[in-house]
Amino acid sequence: MNAKVAVIGGGPAGLGAAVAAYEAGINPEDIHIIERDMELGGILQQCIHNGFGQLIFGEMMTGPEYASHYIDEVLKAGIRFHLNTMVLDISPDRVITAVNQEECLMRINADSIILAMGCRERTRYQIHLPGERPAGIYPAGTVQRLINIEGALPGRRAVILGSGDIGMIMARRLVLEGAEVEGVYEIMGSPSGLPRNVQQCLRDFEIPLHLSHTVTGIHGNRRLEGVTISRVNPESLKPMPGTERYVECDTLVLSVGLIPENELSEGAGIKLDGWTGGPIVDEERETSVDGIFGCGNAVHVYDLVDDVTKSSELAGRSAARYVKGETICREHVLSITAGENVRYTVPQHIRKQSDEPVEVFFRVYLEAANVKLQALVAAEVISEESRRVVKPPIMEKIILQGDLLPVDGEIIIQVVEK
């Protein structure tokens, strides 16, 4: 099979990219979305709460509603999609190997590929949780799937480790479904999820949030019976002896972070960024391998699906441009570097010739008030914006005007006090 644009993953990123490629003039018959699940929509199908779509639609939608808008667009356009189909391998010359029930092994020769595989959750092994290994320990996304899709309550009394958005959202959901949530424990000194979720998911339901605390013991043979909680030193994050407390629970929900899903990218020889966990991309979202683009949570973990859609539309348009041979590379690559109080940036460099403004997304390390976001070239400010406050859970963005970009060198993104 041949494809002009092959999209891997049918979540909001994949759907947005496919529709944008179509709108940029690619024949819908030549666009293929490959999705391993039984339906399109990705993780949004299990995110039944509201709070999606505010930036794009100006209203708060639920995850399934947001997904259905883009699924309808894909259907209307006549873009091809393959469900229950799992991509196993991508080669650097863009041959995709996938499997499904009907065709068994499937090979697609693609002129361009868009990676939109989303992200996965960190597990207990990745955060080195000590103790026994009973049943009853779940990543928050699994709890979300169990309750919202399968209608099963994982337990009666839960402890939540980590204050990521999904963990807080599931704390509320567990309470509404009749379970008890003893508390949310966060190792850092501030919540890792959005402030609005601290309010509407925890405070609204009187669920205690314990900052600078972590789980230091797991107890139970077959089923979880309880956990040990300790206070941590706010600087070293090490548990403080003598602060241990036993908490009875049959369920431990982990909301300890997400990592872009990139086994396929590695197989294709795509260079990954150690900070984001996703491919290094340029301003058009092209990876280090020619004709392979990335978007959505596969590139870096977004907190808002609206931004996922925008990034995917950019990747879709870029893939279309690539397929039509309209891409013009700059003579010199401009690197974008994370400066003061900036953890990482996406894109990591600028490679194409264009006057279009470039949006640089980034996250800060630390909360700070009354700051300026700045882009510097050779110690000179080329773009600046003010913020009353910046917080690690909230992704930031600064816009670089195309005509202000230098011919070569480095752009430093920093956040400094006013």
Partner 1 sequence: MSGAKEHILTCINCPMGCTITVKAKGSKVLSVDGNECKAGEKYAILEMEHPMRILTSTVKVKNGILSRIPVRSSAELPKGNIRECVRLLNDLEVNAPIDIHSPVLKDLLGTGVDIITTRSMERDGE
Which residues contact ligand FAD by CB under 6 A? 8-14, 34-37, 42-44, 47, 49, 52, 86-87, 116-119, 121, 141, 144, 165-166, 169, 258, 261, 264, 296-298, 302, 304-305, 308
Q: How far is the CB of 14 from ligand FAD (least distance, A)?
A: 6
Q: How far is the CB of 338 from ligand FAD (least distance, A)?
A: 22
Residue 141 binds which of ligand FAD, partner 1, none (CB < 5-8 A, kind-dependent): ligand FAD
Q: How far is the CB of 15 from partner 1 (least distance, A)?
A: 14
Q: How far is the CB of 307 from ligand FAD (least distance, A)?
A: 8
Q: Which amino acid is at 282?
A: D
Distance CA 77, CA 90 (A): 26
Residue 62 binds which of ligand FAD, partner 1, none (CB < 5-8 A, kind-dependent): partner 1
Q: How far is the CB of 230 from ligand FAD (least distance, A)?
A: 27
Looking at beta carbons only, is 71 or 258 nearer to ligand FAD? 258
Looking at beta carbons only, is 151 or 241 nearer to partner 1? 151
Q: Residues in the chain, how many?
A: 418
Distance CA 221, CA 223 (A): 6
298-333 b/e with 16+ CB inside 10 Å = b?
bbbbbebbbbbbbbbbbbbbbbbbbbeeebeebeee
Q: Is the peptide bond before 12 cis (omega within 30 degrees of 0)?
A: no
**Residue 240 DSSP symbol:** P
Looking at beta carbons only, is 117 or 187 nearer to ligand FAD? 117
Looking at beta carbons only, is 63 or 239 nearer to partner 1? 63
Q: Summarize as ranges the residues that interact with partner 1 (CB under 8 A).
A: 38-39, 45, 48-51, 54, 60, 62-65, 67-68, 147-151, 176-177, 194-196, 198-200, 203-204, 303-304, 388, 394
Distance CA 193, CA 240 (A): 25
288 strand-pairing partners: none
Residue 188's φ and ψ, nearest 5 degrees, are: -80, 170
Q: How far is the CB of 27 from ligand FAD (least distance, A)?
A: 22
Q: How far is the CB of 62 from ligand FAD (least distance, A)?
A: 10
Q: How far is the CB of 117 from partner 1 (least distance, A)?
A: 22
Nearest to 151 by CA among 9, 301, 48: 48
Neighbours of 201 (CB within 10 A): 26
Is residue 296 within 8 A of residue 11, CB to CB? The reply is yes
Residue 260 binds which of partner 1, ligand FAD, none (CB < 5-8 A, kind-dependent): none
Provide the token pair at 293.
Answer: 């683009």
CA atoms within 13 A on the CB side of 369: 0
Nearest to 299 by CA among 270, 256, 342, 261: 261
Looking at beta carbons only, is 192 or 216 nearer to partner 1? 192
Provide the token pair at 280.
Answer: 């290094």
Looking at beta carbons only, is 90 or 198 nearer to partner 1? 198
Distance CA 21, CA 313 (A): 8
